[in-house]
A and B are shown apart, each in its own frame.
Chain A
Amino acid sequence: MPDLSVNFAGIKAPNPFWLASAPPTNSGYQIMKAFDAGWGGAVWKTLGIPVVNVSSRYGSVNYRDSRMMGFSNIELITDRPLKDNLKEIEEVKKYFPDHAVIVSLMVESRKEWHQIVKDAENAGADGLELNFGCPHGMCERGMGSAVGQEPEVLKTIVEWVKEVAKTPVIVKLTPNISDITEPGQAAKQGGGDAISLINTIQSIVGVDIDNFVPYPYVDGKSTNGGYCGPAVKPIAMNMIKNCAQDPAIGLPISGIGGIENWRDAVEFMLLGAGTVQVCTAVMHYGFGIIREIIPGFESYMKEKGFNTVAEMTGKALPNTTTWENLNLDYKIIAEIHKEKCIGCQLCYIACEDGAHQAIRLSENGTRVPQIIEENCVGCNLCSLVCPVEGCIEMIRKDDGKKYETWKDRTDSGNIPTTFNDKLAGGLHHWVPEPLSALKNKR
């Protein structure tokens, strides 16, 4: 049986599936219930000077019949008094000594940081998470992402915390920045023990087009919110990869952003996460989703022969490189498996209008389109739009012997450098005459 237990920057937990600091970790009640359901850790809803919230607080992006593909909130940190939270932390630790209870914190002055760190640790916290991420409300008051976007300030605050902290310190990064590695490095320089990312992304999820007010609607007004849920997963994974590959950071990573099932968790691990945190999926479906995550994750580990989570962490990083290191000689083209085709012709119109005019409609009376091999650039689009699994396959056409990258070509002076260079990649590629596009003569 693979071992799911983790030691993340010194924080031990029975498994790497944690709840992110958010409404699901608002109270001792919820966290007890979550641990009981199988979650391995929880990051307590951010503590600080309690706030006052508005209603409504959430907005969502629904895609066709899928609800909450993206989710947004304008909620702030905890609105409950500190002492109530501390009492409940103590109680949870009493019943779940082996589970990870990490307390998320956000205050302003050095004095406040020192005080709240001590309070949290005295209550039994296994670790601390510094919330430098909140992209709305708190940042207007000089906290949250206002700090996360200023690496120098971030570093200073991490230093303040480390002056007193006895438990590991995780720095939670905001994605609302152009280079995520800058705050990542600052976290390291300040003495942080780990980083977690991403927090939510500044966003407007929609506009009420009858009343001219964005969502969420608060008495005729709205504001930008923080975006999360399945829609942000690709952004989160890229940022995690950037941090994981940066030798100047070199800290354990707790991956967050759009995780819903075991497969998402695996992907995050392969890109460098040591643990993962979940918020939106629990807000959508409840704690019970852990019942799907754990067995799925375990059977994947078994199938691949991983004994520990650490063994799989970062497995995809060596294969994640920069564009200039990709093989320009690798050639694939699309092939349609006739027997699977249902004749929707989506591949045809996608390639015809959106790619390279490399698919023609069938000439033999069926609805199975045909690939024009000479025109196919192997972009993949048709296989992505095809609604039938495995119907369009990308087939390798080069012999696999040559491996020349943009970097290699640059080194050997073999790249286009002028506007009409003979080395232009598309120079000999057939494109139809513009006028042939028109059905009617003009």
Chain B
Amino acid sequence: MNDTQAYYESSRCLFCYDAPCVNACPTGIDIPLFIRQINSGNTIGAARTIYNSNYFGNACGKVCPTDVLCEGACVYNLQEVKPIEIGRLQSYAASKAMDENVTLFETGKSNGKFAVVIGAGPAGISCACELRLNGFEVDIYEAKEKPSGLTLYGVAPYKITNDDALKEIVYLQDQFEFIINFNSPVTEKKDFEELEKKYDVIFLGIGLGETSQLRIRGEELENCLGAAEFIAELRIEKHNVKVGKKVIVLGGGNTAMDAASESSRMGAEKVILAYRRSATEMGAYGFEFDLAKGVGVEGMFNVSPMEIIGNGKVSGVKFIRTKTVNGKVENIEGSEFIEECDMVIKATGQMKQRDILSNIPGLKLDEKGRVIANPETFQTDNPKYFAAGDVYNGGVEVVNAVAEAKKAAKGIVDWLIG
């Protein structure tokens, strides 16, 4: 968005009272305020408003599903007028502050407490920022060699560039001066014990694990891979990633849409999105499926994969047709068929990090493998541990991780400082 676009777009905002867009934002950014600040030529002030509520101001403006959040709630929708482009305005202001390297924050006076954050994703970084603001010393341990978690390794590349994602972390790190130790996974019991000794509090922002197994035959074949891994490779290797000629994507969520769209963009001749239920029952947002169809992805519904076929390499998928009876998916006997392909992408959800989490004494998980924590303070059943983001909510959006982590930091402050 350029200055002129931002000016015109910001002129349209009505400055609603108790604005529905704000209520729809998990981080509660004062949207009418920052839009008014853009309009009056105080773009840095707008950035301050944004970052005060959301440390991933720029990233969120780009990767948030705004159609179902702020922009979906904008009152203009009710007039069948295009809603305010809140996401783009937000990134416009936030990136201005980053580009001009404006110092928005100063760290708080040291309070003598030491915190460790595990995972440098949106949750971990947000928590670290907020704790530094409150005078904590903060060290971050990150398994990978780069920060920003799935914003870098997961979100589809058309939404945000690697440079953009990393720039925001550098911008925050310059102001908050937390330390990130890269290539430093924390996994073993002894690792946790060590940290417990060294730090006053531990924040878990480790997100989710690899793509879950389907538990069908042929999953080990070459060219059968998980969607999260496929996109991670795409994000890092970019155009060097090879896609098949005919790709079948298994799943009906937003990740499936991303994987299918990206395969098509990368040059696959045919991309089929295969889903167990009907089109209307998909978990993905309507606009995400529309985007996928827009780049040529075909939908194949009410089919369930039974086996990945191939000799060393993938050559097809054996499906069975399904129907939904009383909300349950049932296979239709005798309806098996084989759809040929040379690549299968499983977008069937990510696994929870149960193994790692089981090394923390007293930590409780719910039946779905999510860490249980107080929804206000984000303190877990082991009081020294706080958790937020995907590891807590089971995988939602960047903005949710950011919002929760900020609250968790406040929970930590209340617990240790009172």
Contact = CB atoms under 8 A, between A and B. Distances in A.
Contacts of B20: 343, 367
A344 B23 CA distance: 13
Interface string A334-352: 0000000011111011000
Interface residues of B, number: 16
B11 A64 contact: yes
Nearest to B15: A346
For B17, B18, B19, B78, the residue with the greatest tally of chain A CB atoms inside 10 Å of its CB is B17
A343 B15 CA distance: 12
A19 to B, nearest CB: 31
A344 B8 contact: no
A343 B14 contact: no
Interface string B72-87: 0001101100000000
Given A64-B39, A388-B79, A344 B7 contact: no
Contacts of A367: 20
A67 B20 CA distance: 30
Nearest to B18: A345
Contacts of A342: 75-76, 78-79
Given A64-B39, A367-B20, A346 B14 contact: yes
B11 A344 contact: no
Contacts of A361: 18
Contacts of A65: 7-8, 11-12
Contact of A387 (B11, B14, B17, B19): B14
Nearest to B23: A367
A348 B17 CA distance: 8
Contacts of B16: 343-346
Interface string A239-262: 000000000000000000000000
A156 B297 CA distance: 85
B156 to A, nearest CB: 32
B71 to A, nearest CB: 14
B14 A344 contact: yes
Contacts of A387: 14, 79
A367 B24 CA distance: 14
A342 B83 CA distance: 12
B75 A343 contact: yes
Q: Secondary structure at chain A's binding surface: helix, strand, loop or mixed? A: loop
A345 B22 CA distance: 14
Nearest to B8: A65
Contacts of A388: 79
B154 to A, nearest CB: 35
A367 B78 CA distance: 12
**Which of A64, A344, A349 gathers most chain B CB within 10 Å?**
A344
Contacts of A64: 11, 39
A348 B19 CA distance: 12
Nearest to B9: A65
A340 to B, nearest CB: 9
A361 B17 CA distance: 10
Interface string A252-278: 000000000000000000000000000
A77 B76 CA distance: 48
B51 to A, nearest CB: 25
A346 B16 CA distance: 6
A341 B206 CA distance: 45
Interface in A373-406: 387-388
B61 to A, nearest CB: 21
Nearest to B41: A209
A344 B17 CA distance: 6
Interface in B1-50: 7-8, 11-12, 14-20, 39
Contacts of B11: 64-65
Contacts of B18: 345, 361
Contacts of B19: 344
Contacts of A345: 16-18
B285 to A, nearest CB: 23
A410 B149 CA distance: 78
Contacts of B8: 65
Interface string A92-111: 00000000000000000000
Given A64-B39, A65-B8, A349 B75 contact: no
A348 B8 CA distance: 26
B167 to A, nearest CB: 29
Contacts of B39: 64
A256 B200 CA distance: 76
Nearest to A387: B14
A264 B242 CA distance: 65
A305 B78 CA distance: 39
Interface string B182-200: 0000000000000000000
B86 to A, nearest CB: 15
Interface string B141-175: 00000000000000000000000000000000000
Contacts of B75: 342-344
A364 to B, nearest CB: 15
B78 A343 contact: yes
B76 to A, nearest CB: 7
A64 B35 CA distance: 12
Contacts of A346: 14-17
A173 B11 CA distance: 36
A409 to B, nearest CB: 38
A361 B8 CA distance: 30
A102 B19 CA distance: 55
27 contacts: A64-B11, A64-B39, A65-B7, A65-B8, A65-B11, A65-B12, A342-B75, A342-B76, A342-B78, A342-B79, A343-B16, A343-B20, A343-B75, A343-B78, A344-B14, A344-B16, A345-B16, A345-B18, A346-B14, A346-B16, A346-B17, A349-B17, A361-B18, A367-B20, A387-B14, A387-B79, A388-B79
Given A346-B15, A349-B17, 5 more contacts: A64-B11, A343-B20, A346-B14, A346-B17, A361-B18
Interface of B: 7-8, 11-12, 14-20, 39, 75-76, 78-79
Sorted nearest first, the 5 A-B pairs with minimum C-beta distance are A64-B11, A65-B11, A345-B17, A342-B78, A349-B17
